[in-house]
């Protein structure tokens, strides 16, 4: 293909209309490049909108050094992108779209209206003003020939081949496939020899072999004000008993460690503290009081305020003899073992781990074996807990990939 005369004559194709893809489109189009965004769904940003259903958590206000640790083994490779587009820069970007933000009591940052839709509408309006064109119901099938610049899509009108001078892939991971993140790109890139780590569920629930009695009685019950710990790491908050096991914030926060332990040993035992505000000494002192003729269940409720699903969990886990021994029961209250046997399917997870290896891309997020093809967002091999960390990294890597495209174009004229 002959080279266009100037950068404004070049065309960039962004495949995937989520946060990473839209951010890449913004950066590239702002430089005057023609940008086309292709998405398999009837509209863009569907998973982004779903993320905002309970309140869109866009980032976290904690100090950057602490923020960076949330990416664990990928902190070093993500640091350049996150440094350039950290929480403060992200908030300013949101403000420029006309959306106010606030910091919640947990340090999480939200739009003032708590919703994703106003932000997305303002963002898409800005992108259209910059000349970005959107093509929905375009499912990427790969390349039509050996060129990395000729893309093939399945559309409502049949197959369509399009050419571009650079390509940004931002197709998401493998969670919530009904919203577009199907992971179908894994086989497409695999056929091109791109190094990848298998996709796996992240921020997910886990299966537990509950008894039928416990499952029928307590499935769907929230566990409020508890703490979960595994491998010396503890998280405090809430979770939920499900028909298959357990899920929720404090479980999601430990999901990477739990998933890895299950992969290595076949199971993972986490410990629940059902009374994190009370010390063991206080529990024993209160529960050792004479209970007279009342049952231990009633005694537990009156002395410690533990009843319902928490009491059910104790009965599910300890023997009758242990349940009726105050010291043993208090030990269980502070560290109740819950054996997790497998992660829930990736389709149910909030996000996914795995993806394109950072060894396969350069510092500009270009796939080294496919010059001119860049990668961003959850397609890359990283994971993070909920709390704004997922979205921040998607925004930041999309921005970095967009800058990479511009540098690629500029190098072509040197």
| 274 DSSP 8-state letter | S
Helical axes 389-412 vs 75-84, angle rounded to 10°: 80
What distance in Å separates the CA atoms of residue 308 and residue 277, rounded to the nearest whole number?
Answer: 18
Predicted local confidence at residue 413, as pLDDT: 60
Classify burial at 393, counting beta carbons within 10 Å of its beta carbon; exposed 0-12, middle 13-18, buried 19 or more: buried
Q: Which of 64, 14, 62, 63 lies closest to 39 in space, CA to CA?
A: 14
CA atoms within 13 A on the CB side of 299: 20
Tell me if 269 sits within 8 A of 277, measured CB to CB: no
pLDDT tens digits for the chain (414 residues)? 444 457 878 999 999 999 999 999 999 999 999 999 999 999 999 999 988 787 899 999 999 999 999 998 999 999 999 999 999 999 999 999 999 999 998 899 999 999 999 999 999 999 999 999 999 999 999 998 777 789 999 999 999 999 999 999 999 999 999 998 999 999 999 999 999 999 999 999 999 999 999 999 999 999 999 999 999 999 999 999 999 999 999 999 999 999 999 999 999 999 999 999 999 999 998 888 887 787 888 888 888 888 999 999 999 999 999 888 889 999 999 999 999 999 999 999 999 999 999 999 999 999 999 999 999 999 999 999 998 999 999 999 999 999 999 999 988 765
**Fold assignment, 7-201+351-412:** FAD/NAD(P)-binding domain (3.50.50)
Q: Which of 97, 110, 105 lies closest to 22 in space, CA to CA?
A: 97
Predicted local confidence at residue 414, as pLDDT: 56
Tokens linked to 220: 């769907």
Residue with tokens 């009726």: 324
What distance in Å separates the CA atoms of residue 282 and residue 362, rounded to the nearest whole number?
Answer: 56
Listing DSSP states for 197-210 in one string gives: EEEEEES--EE---
Cβ neighbours of 256 (radius 10 Å) = 20
Rg (CA), the chain: 25
Residues of the chain with CATH 3.50.50.60: 7-201+351-412
Cβ neighbours of 194 (radius 10 Å) = 20
């Amino acid at each position: 293909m002959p080279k266009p005369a100037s950068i404004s004559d070049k065309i960039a194709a962004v495949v995937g209309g989520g946060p990473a893809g839209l951010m890449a489109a913004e950066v590239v189009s702002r430089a005057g490049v023609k940008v086309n965004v292709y998405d398999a769904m009837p509209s863009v940003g569907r998973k982004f909108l779903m993320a905002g259903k309970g309140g869109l958590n866009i980032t976290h206000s904690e100090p950057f050094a602490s923020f960076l640790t949330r990416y664990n083994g990928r902190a070093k490779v993500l640091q350049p992108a996150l440094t350039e587009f950290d929480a403060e820069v992200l908030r300013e970007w949101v403000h420029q779209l006309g959306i106010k933000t606030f910091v919640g009591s947990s340090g999480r940052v939200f739009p003032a209206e708590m919703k994703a839709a106003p932000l997305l509408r303002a963002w898409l309006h800005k992108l259209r003003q910059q000349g970005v064109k959107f093509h929905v119901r375009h499912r990427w099938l790969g390349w039509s020939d050996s060129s990395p610049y000729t893309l093939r899509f399945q559309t409502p009108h049949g197959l369509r081949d399009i050419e571009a001078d650079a390509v940004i892939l931002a197709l998401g991971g493998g969670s919530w496939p009904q919203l577009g993140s199907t992971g179908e790109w894994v086989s497409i890139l695999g056929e091109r020899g791109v190094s990848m780590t298998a996709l796996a569920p992240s921020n997910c629930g886990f299966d537990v072999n509950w008894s039928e009695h416990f499952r029928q009685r307590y499935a769907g019950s929230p566990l409020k004000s508890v703490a979960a710990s595994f491998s010396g790491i503890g998280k405090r908050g809430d979770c939920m008993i499900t028909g298959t096991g357990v899920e929720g914030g404090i479980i999601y926060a430990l999901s990477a460690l739990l998933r890895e332990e299950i992969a290595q040993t076949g199971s993972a035992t986490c410990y629940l503290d059902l009374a994190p505000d009370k010390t063991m000494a206080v529990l024993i002192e209160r529960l050792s009081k004479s209970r007279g003729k009342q049952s231990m269940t009633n005694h537990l409720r009156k002395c410690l305020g533990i009843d319902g699903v928490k009491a059910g969990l104790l009965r599910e886990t300890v023997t009758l003899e242990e349940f009726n021994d105050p010291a043993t029961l208090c030990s269980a209250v502070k560290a109740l073992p819950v054996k997790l046997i497998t992660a829930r399917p990736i389709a149910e997870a909030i996000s996914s781990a795995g993806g394109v290896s950072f060894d396969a891309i350069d510092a500009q997020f270009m796939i080294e074996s496919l010059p001119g093809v860049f990668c961003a967002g959850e397609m890359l091999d990283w994971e993070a807990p909920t709390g704004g960390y997922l979205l921040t990294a998607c925004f930041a890597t999309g921005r970095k990939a967009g800058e990479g495209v511009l540098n690629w174009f500029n190098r072509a004229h040197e």
